[in-house]
Amino acid sequence: MKVILALLFALAIVAVDCWASERPNIVLIMADDMGYADTGFTGATDIETPNLDALAASGVTFTNGYVTHPYCGPSRAGLLSGRYQQRFGFETNPAYDPSNPYVGIDPSETLFPAKLQKAGYRTGIIGKWHLGAATPFHPNHRGFDYFYGFLGGGHDYFKIDLRQPVKEGYLQALERNGKPAEFDGYLTTALCDDAVDFIESSKGDPFFLYLAFNAPHAPLQAPAEAIAKYSTIKDRKRRLYAAMVDVMDAGIGKVIEALEANDVRENTLVFFLSDNGGPQSSKQQPGKWNGSSNAPFRDGKGSLYDGGVHVPFIASWPRRIEKGTVYNQPVISLDIAATAVALASDRLTAMENMEGVNLIPRLTGDDNASSREFLYWRESGVRWSILNANRTKHVLESPNGKPEMFHLPADRSEQNDRADVEKELALQLHEQWLAWNKLNVDSRIESYRKYHEVRDQFFLDSIPEKAKEQGYSPTPIRTLK
């Protein structure tokens, strides 16, 4: 009997070891403010993205891939938590303020990289954080062994200049694991080079790398040689934007080459997506456009029409995903967290509270893969949207307007409102959204613009009345030249 028990125990150890060795490395690449139509695999003809196109061809293209929010911070909060960010009150972009321990992603939220850590993964983030700049929100405290990048929502692509007002931190020093860091040359390239170093230093352990670009987010800056490559594009913004995407694509190529050079590409699951749609001009904000295209979708960043939340979205895992796969059912960024945790951990408890689905069974034809009926959105607590499995979308884009409904397979640009034609379906969808919304909380973060107004007024109010009586009148802070 003892011999049998010992044998069973040994077999169990072997089984666990085999399972552990099969676990993939995971690389999650996120672009910033990238338009849906600005890659070759989504139809771009004036911007070259050979590395992204090859990545898409090597795996699956999700033709109906979505994110949980139409702009940066909340979208990333949903991505890394694996839960709708409205569940924990993260519904706007937080201000950059390293001294404020209250403005950031709820410390009680367990981000999925922390779950991968517990499963034995080495975890790293390189690039943009945008989930709070103070100590409680720091990446090294939220599931990442390694961090190189910046804590705010963006950065200048060529320089650091600590003589300038801090504001949103675009000229602040980068950091590496809590210590100030610099970069040489162009920021996007520096981030990719650091990603290559992370891969090369992770030999022997399964790893998770989150390469979070700020490209092609403003400011529109690119190396001269990249801009010259697109000299035939007449519009200046589009030309600069194209150059930024081009350099990012080249850097992604370096990352894939590093996976191949270290003999881990076959068993590495690589995701790519944008955090939201590209900004588009409007009557209210005519200068908002960053040169991107979201064709054929309506509107862009900030909007709950598809232009704001329908993004380029691909996954590649040579060992498990058949190359050239096209998946047409709706998926959402929440699914990345669920997929990663399902692959990395053998404990069902690791999946608790996660709201995405494991995508791998859907891509490998598993008949037992659970179905999903709805995707949901809410912005600023008032604008909302819901999408059902048949891709009928009910949306309230303007708080002062009326809800609309579109059947997306026949109306990708959301021009033919069917809310009055199919009133019963519209009512059912709204009731479903209301049921989902009951589990949400109000935003616990003020918008960064409002935050700066309140903070500036606080400092003005701190000036003694006696100084004001004596004629002291502070001048507005301006960027020094």
pTM of the model: 0.93
Which residues does the annotation mark as catalytic?
Answer: 72, 130
User: Residue 181's beta-bridge partner residues?
Assistant: 174
pLDDT higher than threshold 90 for residue 71: yes
| Whole-angstrom distance, CA of residue 299 vs CA of residue 106 | 31
Mean pLDDT over 271-285 rounds to 93
Q: 306, 276 in Cβ contact below 8 A?
A: no
Q: What is the pLDDT of residue 368?
A: 67
| Whole-angstrom distance, CA of residue 432 vs CA of residue 10 | 50
For domain 374-437, say whether CATH 3.30.1120.10 is its number: yes
pLDDT higher than threshold 90 for residue 405: yes
Q: SS3 of 278, please?
A: coil
| Whole-angstrom distance, CA of residue 428 vs CA of residue 394 | 10
* Block residue for tokens 């904000």: 285
Mean pLDDT over 51-77 rounds to 98
What is the full DSSP assignment across 389-416? TT-EEEEE--TTS--EEEEGGG-TT--S
Residue 471: pLDDT band with limits 50, 70, 90: confident
Q: Is the peptide bond before 296 cis (omega within 30 degrees of 0)?
A: yes
Q: Where is average pLDDT lowest: 75-89, 358-372, 393-407, 438-452?
A: 358-372
Mean pLDDT over 443-472 rounds to 87
* Angle at the Cα of 87 from the Cα atoms of 81 and 88, rounded to 5 degrees: 75
pLDDT higher than threshold 60 for residue 132: yes
The model's pLDDT over 137-187, given as tens digits with 9 standing for 90+, comes to 999 999 999 999 999 999 999 999 999 999 999 999 999 999 999 999 999
Mean pLDDT over 72-80 rounds to 98
Q: 124, 147 in Cβ contact below 8 A?
A: yes
Name the average pLDDT for the chain: 92
The pair of structure tokens assigned to 158 is 């060529």
Q: What is the pLDDT of residue 203?
A: 84
* Angle at the Cα of 258 from the Cα atoms of 72 and 255, rounded to 5 degrees: 20
The dihedrals phi and psi of 62, each to the nearest 5 degrees, come to -90, 105
Question: Domain boundaries in the chain?
Answer: 24-363, 374-437
The model's pLDDT over 297-309, given as tens digits with 9 standing for 90+, comes to 999 999 999 999 9
Mean pLDDT over 450-478 rounds to 82
pLDDT higher than threshold 50 for residue 10: no
Q: What is the dotted CATH code of the domain comprising 24-363? A: 3.40.720.10
